Structure 1
Amino acid sequence: MPYEWIAPDVGAPDAPLAELHLWPYRSLLRRDFVVFISATVALILVPLLVVIGSPVLWGLLPFFIIAVAGLWYGLHRSYKDGELLEVLRLWPDRITLHHHNPRRGDKSWEANPYWVRLKLDPTHDRVPNYITLKGADRVVELGAFLSEEERAALFDELDDALRRARGAQ
């Protein structure tokens, strides 16, 4: 699952009761990226072997370079977008959400967990099983990049964590 509950550091002062890290799913690892680009270059080069030594090669070569560069750029941008990270920390007296987006900057939210309302919207327009937290006069989304099933499982786990935090007050 592209989210993980971090065990609290019991010895640390002001350690949260629970900490949750969420990130987008990565289907292509960095080492597979090199293999994929190499295989693509090799497959494109095979037809070019026929025209080596002729002027046609120079006509086709720019298109080959543009195709590989476009693929490289697209995958690199996908990796950059995948650096998105949401960190939710839960204490008996407060809950914080830190949303790190490498292209849009960081956003933070803080509220009292007693007043926070967790909501799961199974028929949301944009994302099925849409999870929101409402508190401190603000509504924030959580894990919109997760799959529908992952958001449903996360909702149950987060609901349990919030109940424990409210009970610890």
Structure 2
Amino acid sequence: MPYEWVRKPEGASEGSEAPFPSPTAELHLWPHRSLPRRGFAWVIAIMATFLALPLLEVLGTPLLWGLLPFVLLAGAGLWLALKRSYRDGQLIEELHLTPESIRLTRHNTRAPRQVWEANPYWVVLHLHPTEGPVPQYLTLSGAGREVELGAFLTPEERTRLHGELAQALARIRSG
């Protein structure tokens, strides 16, 4: 699951998993990583092998020097694309929820950090089934702004998170 509640509810044992924490909560969200570091190395090794096979046939001929720049360009392109994907995957969203405030901090990889803060009593949690850039678009409204939460999660994960966050907000508001 590419999100987790970091702070457990009071009274919860160390090994128990609660659906939401109280009275304060901390939630971390991050994009799903479909290719682990070990897989990255395998992809590069397989790509290098398959790009080297045609070069073996033309080894020692002038044609090698005509093909080599394109092979190196293809290899470098794949390497850079995967590296950028990993760098973009370092994005993290942190949601801190206390009785006094709710604060969402988005640590971007190529842009400044973004922070939104509001009073949890006045925050409205929305799950837009079809309106929005992604299905089951999850937003928080408060302090004159509406911010998205977990746009990189799957629709099922956003739906589940909506329920957990609604319960956490209700618990904070009730006392």
State TM-score, norm by structure 2: 0.89
Q: Structure 2 CA distance, aligned partners of 1:101 and 1:116?
A: 23
- Alignment-mate amino acid for residue 3 of structure 1: Y
Residue 74 (structure 1) aligns with? 81
Q: Structure 2 CA distance, aligned partners of 1:95 and 1:154?
A: 16
Residue 40 (structure 2) aligns with? 33
1:87 aligns to what SS in structure 2? strand
Residue 42 (structure 1) aligns with? 49
Identify the match of residue 98 of structure 1 among 95, 105, 111.
Answer: 105
Q: Structure 1 CA distance, aligned partners of 2:153 and 2:8?
A: 24
Q: Structure 2 CA distance, aligned partners of 1:119 and 1:21?
A: 19
Does the 8 Å CA contact 2:127/2:136 hold for their aligned counterparts? Answer: yes
Identical columns (%) = 55
Identify the match of residue 135 of structure 1 among 129, 135, 142.
Answer: 142
Q: Offset of 1:125 from its aligned partner? A: 3.9
**Structure 1 runs not aligned, ≥5 long:** none
Residue 167 (structure 1) aligns with? 174
Does the 8 Å CA contact 1:8/1:16 hold for their aligned counterparts? Answer: no
Residue 7 (structure 2) aligns with? 7
- Alignment-mate amino acid for residue 2 of structure 2: P
Q: Offset of 1:7 from its aligned partner? A: 2.3
Q: Offset of 1:46 from its aligned partner? A: 1.1
Q: Offset of 1:104 from its aligned partner? A: 1.4
2:161 aligns to what SS in structure 1? helix
Q: Structure 2 CA distance, aligned partners of 1:134 and 1:125?
A: 14
State TM-score, norm by structure 1: 0.92
Structure 1 stretches (4+) deviating beyond 4 angstroms?
none
2:135 aligns to what SS in structure 1? coil
Distance 1:145 1:164, change over 3 A: same
Aligned residues: 164
Does the 8 Å CA contact 1:8/1:18 hold for their aligned counterparts? Answer: yes
Q: Structure 2 CA distance, aligned partners of 1:77 and 1:164?
A: 40
Root mean square deviation of aligned Cα: 1.5
Q: Structure 2 CA distance, aligned partners of 1:145 and 1:127?
A: 9
Q: Structure 2 CA distance, aligned partners of 1:141 and 1:106?
A: 15
**Structure 2 runs not aligned, ≥5 long:** 11-21
Residue 150 (structure 1) aligns with? 157
Does the 8 Å CA contact 1:113/1:165 hold for their aligned counterparts? Answer: yes
- Alignment-mate amino acid for residue 138 of structure 2: I
Does the 8 Å CA contact 2:23/2:171 hold for their aligned counterparts? Answer: no
Q: Offset of 1:34 from its aligned partner? A: 1.1
Output one character per residue of 1:130-152: Cα deviation in whole Å (capped at 9) or x when no partner: 11101111111100111111111
- Alignment-mate amino acid for residue 135 of structure 1: G
